[in-house]
Chain A
Amino acid sequence: MEGSKCSVTLSVNGTSYTREVEARLLLVHFLRDELGLTGTHVGCDTSQCGACTVLLDRKAVKSCTVLAVQADGCEVTTIEGLGRIDKLHPLQEGFWEKHGLQCGFCTPGVIMTAAGLLDENPHPTEEEIREGLEGVICRCTGYQNIVRAIQYAADRTHQAEPEPVVEVAASAPTGAQDSLRQEGEDA
């Protein structure tokens, strides 16, 4: 049931936010509903699908399994903060090059999972990549091109000078959303 509100401060994609939230509010709902960062998706209710994966202090976590208050003081990177369209992260490039997505719904979570994976193991074998995807489900691609996409990114990332994991992007809701809102109002 609705409880008392708590104050949380966290940095998301390089911007600091302070909000009063219910203690039970999930981080994923904080990102989506409070901040309008709808790139992070919800695909299940049992922590199986990984669609909600973000980086929390550089570690890939399922944001449906973290309370917003637990992330207090932490740094969160979402898909919106990974790279910009004019400066894509190697993983984003890889998914585009290798057709690592179809409907795109799992994609932000899979990319963030892969980002966590490559951070720990920059040059994984194919088997390690497949193992590393244990926590995500993609219903569309059959995974083969996801594996190719991650291999592409691993090949592109030099061990000596890793690409920055975080590219700061605009934290406001996307332009597309604004136009949708506009359409809604006009209707």
Chain B
Amino acid sequence: MSTVFGQVVKRREDPRFITGRGQYTDDVQLPGMLYAAILRSPHAHARIVSLDVEGAKRVPGVVAIYTGRDLAEPMGTVPTAWIPPESSLKTPPHHALAVDKVRYVGDGVAMVVADSRYAARDALDLISVQYEVLPAVVNQVEAMRDGAPVLHEEAPDNVAFHWQIGNVTDEVFNQAEVVVRHTIRQQRLVPNPMEPRASVAQYNPATGELTVWVTSQNPHIHRFILSGILGIPEHRLRVVATDVGGGFGAKIAVYPDEALVAFAAMDLGRPVKWTEDRREHFLATTHGRDHVEELELAGTRDGRIQAIRVRAYANMGAYLSTAAPGVPTILFGLIVPGPYTIPYVGVDVYGVFTNTTPTDAYRGAGRPEATYLLERMVDLYAREIRMDPVEVRRRNLIPADEFPYHTPTGLEYDSGNYHLALSRALDMADYDGFRRKQQELRAQGRHVGVGVTTYVEICGLGPSQVAGAVGFQGGLWESSTVRVHPTGKVTVFTGSSPHGQGEETTFAQIVADKLGVPVEDVEVVHGDTARISMGWGTYGSRTTPVAGSALAVALDRVLEKARRIAAHMLEVSTEDVECADGQFYAKGAPSRSVSFQDVALQAHMAWNLPQGVEPSLEAQAFYDPANFTYSFGTHICMVEVDTDTGDVRIDRYIAVDDCGRVINPMIAEGQVHGGIVQGIGQALWEGAVYDEQGQLVTGTLMDYAMPKARFFPNFETAFTETPSPHNPLGVKGIGETGTIAATPTVVNAVLDALAPFGVREIQMPLTPERVWRSIQEGGQRS
């Protein structure tokens, strides 16, 4: 086996990006192209009384204006694609443009199409809409109260769904030695990939073919759903995700916007482009998180966790976005027991409509919420029983010899060595040393703290059977085609759709490793439904474990055929052929060999193939994983809090992650870095805030605090490698671990620093003001 698997290889996608030759959706220029702009509701809840577009039509360059009434007939509604079973899920119609009523600030009201970006924007200002403003509700708990404003008549109590799982009983809590109760608010976040969403559509009326370029993490899902909304047969619809500038979940959903652009292109017979501005991103691209959670943990005095019970109220926003119902249920509830041997678990989730931007997946999607509540509860429990929080974790982590491990929520954790990752991280951090130092510093009036998170993550979504069982309206397998050209160069077509994660490189490494060809000889194609037969996209840390495995299976097929041809060329039997470093040898006679390139050429010439072997050298695989796969690890953060200002400084951050076998350590480390920063962003700075009227007061990058370079020290990262036993590469996922682990790690560190003040909880984000206030209040209490 060659050594390219597991090595640092510079990214093959980079040359185009560092020279400005990437191709993002907004870079697509077509002859005769028009530009769309969307008028969005300024009210959170209102009836549309009248809508006058006459003034706007007179703006020079305006070609067409569409309203909700114009499109209600010809366009289908925008569906949700995740319907958790036994949850009484309501699916009120979501029109591409609001017809009678707007339900959040940002709800689409009209679309202008003009011959320039600027003209389209000018015209928006001249559309006059009369609204009858209705009372709005933005908080999910308030929305469930009697008398709250009702968004959809299909859900008179604003409950979109109610989902439960678990085996816990009141009995367990009644008999427990220790019960810790707590309420947490997981604030709402705005994903903010740096590339705004965009779409370009082009229609050929003669052939009936529609091409839609869209900023998508899953172009085939876009095709599937758009074909329904637009009534275009799937084989006439091509969806292309060129380079995509980050997604973090926000580019999973099929939005009204791309359907509108496509409709206009068909209606007008000219290409149409739409690109959101950042303000629109804040208002009309899905948000993440936003839970209110009532929590109870039962345990013994000696640190054994017996039960955890969660009642969560998840804010779904005004409509159910594509994957939204699965996020606070399946992706959250099933992983609540985390990496611990907790025998009893109960999760009860209400998904609630409010007059806010719809929520959906945001990096980690459900798993960060679960990890946060669990890790906070473990720390509170440790404090309650006066035990070091690391010791509590040690006593509850699933031992390495108990894998595969079955959780009370029905998951089977495939493999793990949680104690190893923990001890490695503790060593790197010199945890005991820090605890001693902490005492000294406290005596000097300095407030340092340490937070430790041990986590496990559901990766590699997922077996399609499970997808069906949990109500996902699609499969979760993946496709891969390996095409070997006559010269032995290789093109890989993958159904996953990476957008920054580096699979053009790591997948080429998988190919190089299996076939013994140089990495440079491999091209990885993704993101185009016309070139790739099928795929379900990139999210849920599934690309490497699922699409990578599909690639491995297809490569084995290529190799098997190549071996037969090589045997024929060497005039030995197939069993007597050995293969290494791109050469096929006759067993015992290593001087007799043919190269992979020789075989590729012969496969295509087909002058003398073994009997029954078809020409060419190409294989396809459709891989459905046997199980999810479970990455895990330990993160440790050390902070110092300035108690005069409430400012938190991160002194050290240590991450030990285990994502199974690592293909390219540089890329894996990069994923961890980015994830940590996003997780810390939630802990310390980020938060979407609505006022009572439903106005998003954090609606620009001026008001919504994004992590900046100067806020961080260098992170110290390491990997342990516990292969997944059920996929051919032994890999797991690494894209979301940082975000999942970092938030509780930092919050626990801050609360540890403030323990002398009796501070038990601070609402995220832990801004200096909140930290300072809690010190004042905690100080008074203690």
CA distance A22 to B122 in the complex (A): 13
CA distance A82 to B271 in the complex (A): 32
Contact: B278 with A92, CB < 8 Å?
no
**Which of A41, A48, A106, A145 makes the CB contact (< 8 A) with B701?**
A48
Contact: B278 with A45, CB < 8 Å?
yes
CA distance A80 to B22 in the complex (A): 11
Contact: A39 with B21, CB < 8 Å?
yes
Contact: B24 with A85, CB < 8 Å?
no
| Residue B10 is within 8 A (CB to CB) of chain A in the complex | yes
Q: Which residues on B sit within 8 Å (CB–CB) of A136?
A: 709
- Of A2, A139, A174, A187, most B-chain CB atoms within 10 Å: A139
Q: Encode A140-161 as 1/0 by CB contact (under 8 A) with B.
A: 1111111100000000000000
Within 8 A of A (CB), among B29-69: 29-31, 59-61
**Which of B27, B211, B278 makes the CB contact (< 8 A) with A38?**
B27
Q: Which residues on B sit within 8 Å (CB–CB) of A107?
A: 17-18
Within 8 A of A (CB), among B668-685: 669-678
| Residue B592 is within 8 A (CB to CB) of chain A in the complex | no
| Residue A108 is within 8 A (CB to CB) of chain B in the complex | yes
**Which of A82, A85, A103, A145 makes the CB contact (< 8 A) with B193?**
A103
Contact: B701 with A46, CB < 8 Å?
yes
Q: Encode B60-93 as 1/0 by CB contact (under 8 A) with A.
A: 1100000000000000000000000000000000
Bin the interface of chain B by size: 35 or more
Q: Which residues on A sit within 8 Å (CB–CB) of B192?
A: 137, 139
**Distance to closest chain A CB from B380 (angstroms):** 29
CA distance A82 to B209 in the complex (A): 40
Q: Encode A87-104 as 1/0 by CB contact (under 8 A) with B.
A: 010001001110101111
Within 8 A of A (CB), among B651-687: 666-667, 669-678
Report if A41-B24 is in contact (Cβ < 8 Å); known contacts: A48-B701, A130-B709: yes
Contact: A105 with B28, CB < 8 Å?
no
Q: Encode B184-226 as 1/0 by CB contact (under 8 A) with A.
A: 0000000011111000001010000101000000000000000
Q: Which residues on B sit within 8 Å (CB–CB) of A105?
A: 22, 24, 193-195, 243, 245-246
Report if A102-B502 is in contact (Cβ < 8 Å); known contacts: A147-B709, A185-B31: yes
| Residue B499 is within 8 A (CB to CB) of chain A in the complex | yes
Report if A137-B20 is in contact (Cβ < 8 Å); known contacts: A2-B118, A95-B14, A177-B29: no
CA distance A127 to B711 in the complex (A): 10
**Which of A41, A46, A143 makes the CB contact (< 8 A) with B712?**
A143
| Residue B405 is within 8 A (CB to CB) of chain A in the complex | no
Bin the interface of chain A by size: 35 or more
Report if A180-B709 is in contact (Cβ < 8 Å); known contacts: A101-B18, A185-B31: no
Contact: A84 with B712, CB < 8 Å?
no
Q: Which residues on A sit within 8 Å (CB–CB) of B14?
A: 95-96, 101, 104
Q: Which residues on A sit within 8 Å (CB–CB) of B16?
A: 104, 176
Contact: B278 with A46, CB < 8 Å?
yes
**Distance to closest chain B CB from A103 (angstroms):** 3
CA distance A136 to B708 in the complex (A): 8
Within 8 A of A (CB), among B707-765: 707-710, 712, 714-715, 738
| Residue A40 is within 8 A (CB to CB) of chain B in the complex | yes
Q: Which residues on A sit within 8 Å (CB–CB) of B119?
A: 2
Q: Encode A11-49 as 1/0 by CB contact (under 8 A) with B.
A: 000000000001011000100110011111111111011
| Residue B244 is within 8 A (CB to CB) of chain A in the complex | yes
Contact: A143 with B246, CB < 8 Å?
no
Report if A142-B19 is in contact (Cβ < 8 Å); known contacts: A2-B122, A45-B278, A184-B271: no
CA distance A144 to B675 in the complex (A): 12
| Residue B5 is within 8 A (CB to CB) of chain A in the complex | no
**Which of A96, A99, A108, A142 makes the CB contact (< 8 A) with B677?**
A142
Report if A85-B19 is in contact (Cβ < 8 Å); known contacts: A41-B24, A140-B500, A145-B670: yes
Report if A45-B19 is in contact (Cβ < 8 Å); known contacts: A133-B709, A184-B202: no
Within 8 A of A (CB), among B254-303: 271, 275, 277-279
Contact: B20 with A37, CB < 8 Å?
yes
Q: Encode A110-136 as 1/0 by CB contact (under 8 A) with B.
A: 010000000000000001011101101
Q: Which residues on A sit within 8 Å (CB–CB) of B738?
A: 142
CA distance A1 to B19 in the complex (A): 35
| Residue B248 is within 8 A (CB to CB) of chain A in the complex | yes
Contact: B667 with A104, CB < 8 Å?
no
Looking across the interface, which residue of chain B has its beta carbon closest to that of A91?
B18
Report if A45-B18 is in contact (Cβ < 8 Å); known contacts: A176-B23, A181-B29, A181-B30: no
CA distance A36 to B33 in the complex (A): 14
Report if A44-B204 is in contact (Cβ < 8 Å); known contacts: A105-B195, A140-B500: no
Contact: A102 with B202, CB < 8 Å?
no
Q: Which residues on B sit within 8 Å (CB–CB) of A104?
A: 13-14, 16-18, 22, 243, 245, 500
Report if A102-B246 is in contact (Cβ < 8 Å); known contacts: A46-B278, A133-B710: yes
**Distance to closest chain B CB from A72 (angstroms):** 19
Contact: A44 with B15, CB < 8 Å?
no
| Residue A55 is within 8 A (CB to CB) of chain B in the complex | no
Report if A95-B673 is in contact (Cβ < 8 Å); known contacts: A105-B246, A144-B714, A180-B28: no
CA distance A131 to B195 in the complex (A): 23
| Residue B167 is within 8 A (CB to CB) of chain A in the complex | no
Contact: B278 with A44, CB < 8 Å?
yes
Looking across the interface, which residue of chain A has its beta carbon closest to that of B204?
A187
Contact: A187 with B202, CB < 8 Å?
yes
Contact: B22 with A39, CB < 8 Å?
yes
| Residue A56 is within 8 A (CB to CB) of chain B in the complex | no
CA distance A48 to B209 in the complex (A): 40
| Residue A10 is within 8 A (CB to CB) of chain B in the complex | no
CA distance A171 to B29 in the complex (A): 16
Report if A96-B15 is in contact (Cβ < 8 Å); known contacts: A80-B20, A103-B244, A137-B706: yes
| Residue A76 is within 8 A (CB to CB) of chain B in the complex | no
**Which of B26, B60, B676, B715 makes the CB contact (< 8 A) with A2?**
B60
Q: Encode B398-432 as 1/0 by CB contact (under 8 A) with A.
A: 00000000000000000000000000000000000
| Residue B11 is within 8 A (CB to CB) of chain A in the complex | yes
Contact: A143 with B194, CB < 8 Å?
no
Q: Which residues on A sit within 8 Å (CB–CB) of B209?
A: 187
| Residue B700 is within 8 A (CB to CB) of chain A in the complex | yes
Looking across the interface, which residue of chain A has its beta carbon closest to that of B240?
A183
Contact: B709 with A40, CB < 8 Å?
no
Report if A99-B194 is in contact (Cβ < 8 Å); known contacts: A104-B500, A141-B673: no
Contact: B18 with A134, CB < 8 Å?
no
| Residue B103 is within 8 A (CB to CB) of chain A in the complex | no
Looking across the interface, which residue of chain A has its beta carbon closest to that of B275?
A42
| Residue B485 is within 8 A (CB to CB) of chain A in the complex | no
Contact: B702 with A111, CB < 8 Å?
no
Contact: B674 with A141, CB < 8 Å?
yes
Contact: A187 with B18, CB < 8 Å?
no
**Distance to closest chain B CB from A127 (angstroms):** 8
**Distance to closest chain A CB from B273 (angstroms):** 11
**Distance to closest chain A CB from B262 (angstroms):** 13
Contact: B709 with A49, CB < 8 Å?
no
Q: Which residues on B sit within 8 Å (CB–CB) of A61?
A: none
- Of A97, A131, A140, A146, most B-chain CB atoms within 10 Å: A140
24 of the cross-chain contacts (CB-CB < 8 Å) are A24-B118, A32-B26, A38-B27, A41-B24, A42-B26, A45-B277, A80-B19, A99-B666, A99-B669, A102-B500, A102-B671, A104-B243, A108-B20, A130-B709, A130-B710, A133-B708, A139-B193, A139-B246, A140-B674, A142-B673, A142-B715, A144-B673, A145-B673, A180-B23
* Given A44-B701, A95-B14, A104-B17, 15 new contacts (CB under 8 A): A41-B195, A43-B278, A45-B278, A80-B20, A84-B19, A92-B18, A95-B18, A103-B195, A103-B244, A104-B245, A139-B246, A141-B670, A144-B673, A144-B715, A180-B242
Binding site for A on B (CB under 8 A): 10-11, 13-24, 26-31, 59-61, 117-119, 122, 192-196, 202, 204, 209, 211, 238, 242-246, 248, 271, 275, 277-279, 499-502, 666-667, 669-678, 700-702, 706-710, 712, 714-715, 738
